Amino acid sequence: MEKVYELTTNARDGFAKWYVRGIKNDKEALRISKAAFGKYASPTLISYYDNYPSRYGTDWKRLSSTIKMFMKITKVRYR
């Protein structure tokens, strides 16, 4: 079972929320957020959201990205 975290930035386009699966804990989530968003990362903008697979029926495979995909997308967008 993987955790799904919500990583938020307040960069150029206002608040952008990203759902990322595969993060183990808050410490790793902050490290990934800093690597992706740079100076726009903050511990207050990180929150544990759900598990994958979700017991509530949410399709996180479609709605979230893996850590690798997230880093690839944000590298283009925020760097």
Q: Which of 23, 38, 34, 36 is nearest to 71 (CA)?
A: 36
Structure tokens at 62: 């479609």
Question: Cα separations (Å) of 66 from 12, 13, 14, 28?
Answer: 23, 22, 23, 14
Structural domain tally of the chain?
1
pLDDT at 79: 60
- Give the structural domain span for 28: 2-78
Q: What is the pLDDT along the chain (79 residues), one digit of tens a residue?
A: 899 999 998 755 578 899 999 999 999 999 999 999 888 888 889 999 999 999 999 999 999 999 999 999 988 776 6
Residues comprising the chain, all counted: 79
